[in-house]
Amino acid sequence: MRARRLWSAGVLLLVALANRAGAQMPAPKQELRLVVQADLGDVTISRHIFGHFAEHLGRCIYGGFWIQDKSGNWTYNEAVIEALRRIKVPNLRWPGGCFADYYHWRDGIGPRAQRPPMVNVVWGGVTEDNSFGTHEYMELVRRLGAEPLIVGNVGSGTVAEMAEWWEYLNHPGGSSLAELRRKNGHPEPFGVRYWGIGNESWGCGGNMSPEYYCDLLKRYATFLRPMGEVKPFIIAVGPGGEDYRWTEVVMREAGRHIAALDFHYYTINGTWEKKGSATQFGEAEWFELMQRALHIDELLTRYSAIMDHYDPRNRVALMVGEWGTWHEVEPGTNPAFLYQQNTLRDALVAALHLNLFIKHAERVRIANIAQTVNVLQAMVLTQDGKVVTTPTYHVFDMYAVHQDAVRLPIHLDAGVYRYGEAQIPAVSAAASKDASGRTHLTLVNLDPREGRTIRAEFRGRSFSRAKGRILTAPAMNAHNTFDAPNAVKPAEFTGMRFEGQELVIDLPAKSVVALELE
């Protein structure tokens, strides 16, 4: 009895001391289990799910990739290209987006001084001089080491116009269009395979019904003939958000004519009419964004199920041609230019998406984050000759190890992140084995307040060494600026240790961690 009274008094004393100091007793970290089947896996993670998007929008092309020198001549932004080469950009989707269905390719070839200007009626009504066209784009992707992915004009174009663009790019020689290409400085065919037939035809691309679009799709596809060794990889307009009927109709009516279905999904706070700020937010907005980002898992599952019904051999890829966060523009900027900052929160959303694309790698074989420079969830921001990389850029750098690697099966106890009465999984993960036999593990902790301890078991292989990098910051809204370009950047991660055959990982709050095991 006396011992019990002494024990109770001790507990009360500890509580009183903690309260007097204004402190809370720290809650123990959730300990979660992860099993990685390190000797299994038969699905290759396509490098193309790490693709990017460059639309004629705001300062993505003009003022981003394409800048004027001191003499007023247009040239490539070498600093941007150098930065993007480091993250191994696999493909670059161009010229849009909504802009694609207004773009007429012949206006963007030939001597630049003779090209007719155009008004970008979709994005701000600005005048473009068409100095950036087909040849400039093809040179850009060559410099990036990326593959071209072109979206053709269905909304205001014609079958003949698209077929002639295809021939201009790909005919090996002997046609008038191949001769025109040679005259414009490129005797050899460009070898473009990836080809989108329209963009968002259910909306800005024409407000079409799926049945009407399918008729157009089959007609346009008929006239994209193989040329030389190049065969078209035809990409159909897919759904936006939750549109299961569009998916059903396109797969039923035109699935045999296509190689991919292009699905678009943006993650926002608030509503489309009144989105939240990119940098001014609290945990409520943080939680909402993570919750909405996680919803893409359900969408990919449901769209894959529809495609499985019409394409049981898994021939048609599910492409996520536009994805990422969409916030209100930065104060004082043109609202039509969609220029937004990019915080640690955006980086976690990106890492979560990439883990989920890897989870669905059987179907998801192409994806393009929107957009590459100065627009929406950009990799790079530019201003007055300066270039700053964003937290999202660093995620793509950390995840490049998964490109063309073999996905390893995992089982994760994801834990729970609670906010108010709602809850979501706390942790996301993906694992792969690259061509050199190295095993890679990427982890995301969505909880901005609490860390998690992961006990990882690797079956089929033994490891004795691990190294890693971490992306995190003290504040949820931490971001890089031109005055402080390294506020959020990866650092060496040492928060792991081997205990027998298990790797114990102390995963901090609001963090992305990438590990390599040997």
Active-site residue numbers? 200, 322
Contact 278, 338 (CB under 8 A): no
Write the DSSP symbol of residue 89.
-
Transcribe 185-205 into DSSP letters.
T--S-----EEEE-S-TTTTT
The angle formed by the CA atoms of residues 364, 367 and 371, to the nearest 5 degrees, is 160
76, β-bridge pairs = 66
Joined tokens for residue 518: 């040997």
CB-count exposure of residue 451 (10 Å: 0-12, 13-18, 19+): middle
Beta bridge partners of 244: none
List own/partner pairs for 292-296 with CB under 8 A and 24 or more apart: 292/267, 292/268, 293/267, 293/349, 293/352, 293/353, 294/352, 294/424, 294/425, 296/265, 296/267, 296/320, 296/323, 296/353, 296/356
3-state secondary structure 409-424: CEEECCCEEEECCEEE
**Distance between alpha carbon 239 and the CA centroid of its chain, in Å?**
17
Residues 236 and 214: their CA atoms lie apart, in Å, by 9
Coil, helix or strand for 80? helix
Tell which phi-psi region holds residue 200, choosing left (phi > 0), alpha (psi between -120 and 50) or beta.
left
